[in-house]
Amino acid sequence: MYAVRQWSVRNSRKLEWLYQCFEGILIALHPIWLWIGYSRIEKPIRAVEKSVKRVMFDCQMCGSCVLSQTGMSCPMNCPKELRNGPCGGVRSDGYCEVDSTMRCVWVDAWEGSQRMRDRTRIATVQPPLAQGQRGRSSWLREVRKKRDRIFFQRDT
């Protein structure tokens, strides 16, 4: 999976476009999600999300996905789970100080972010991980957030 994770970073712009299309479909399906119930649809959506993101990004299902800000490099793959940049222990060759066989997640994040449309999103400070969100679908969380902006013209 590590090779696929590296491929995802190298192809971050294409994956960004693909996700934006997919997210548009999820948002368009909002009336169906309401009819079924977001709580009932969570489990099957989460299963699909986990399968796809596990292969593509070695996803840890934190429930607060920031791949669009981190160049398609999941910061939860950092042995220290740092969400706001490298720890300062990055080796001179770009590899992790904890796992010398793995490139620093944040070196990859920087490189991937520079391929994406908005290269400045990596500078967005991320809030601490909400532990209660672990294992939940970040796709549905994003759909709910954007749905509220679209349908109610407000942020949540």
pLDDT in tens, 76-100: 999 999 999 988 889 999 999 999 9
Those residues with Cβ within 8 angstroms of residue 121's Cβ, 6 or more apart along the chain or in another chain: 68, 69, 113
117 Rama sector, left if φ>0, alpha if ψ -120 to 50, beta otherwise? alpha
Judged against a pLDDT cut of 90, whether residue 150 lies above it is answered with no
- Mean per-residue pLDDT for 120-140? 93
Of 91, 135, 85, 125, the C-alpha closest to 105 is 85
Q: Give the pair of three-digit tokens for residue 72.
A: 């398609």
- What does the pLDDT read at residue 25? 94
Domain count, the chain: 1
- What does the pLDDT read at residue 151? 65
Residue carrying the six token digits 């942020």: 155
Of 68, 70, 104, the C-alpha closest to 84 is 70
Ramachandran angles phi, psi of 11, nearest 5°:
-115, 30
- What does the pLDDT read at residue 89? 86
Claim: this prediction has a pTM higher than 0.85: yes
In this predicted model, which residue has the larger pLDDT, 149 or 58?
Answer: 58
The model's pLDDT over 15-61, given as tens digits with 9 standing for 90+, comes to 999 999 999 999 999 889 889 999 999 999 999 999 999 999 999 99
- Mean per-residue pLDDT for 51-77? 95
**Environment class of residue 155 by beta-carbon count within 10 Å: exposed (0-12), middle (13-18) or buried (19+)?**
exposed
Q: Give the pair of three-digit tokens for residue 66.
A: 């920031």
Judged against a pLDDT cut of 60, whether residue 154 lies above it is answered with no
Could you list the residue range(s) of the whole structural domain that residue 61 is in?
Answer: 2-152
Of 104, 85, 83, 84, the C-alpha closest to 93 is 104
What percent of the chain has pLDDT above 70?
A: 96
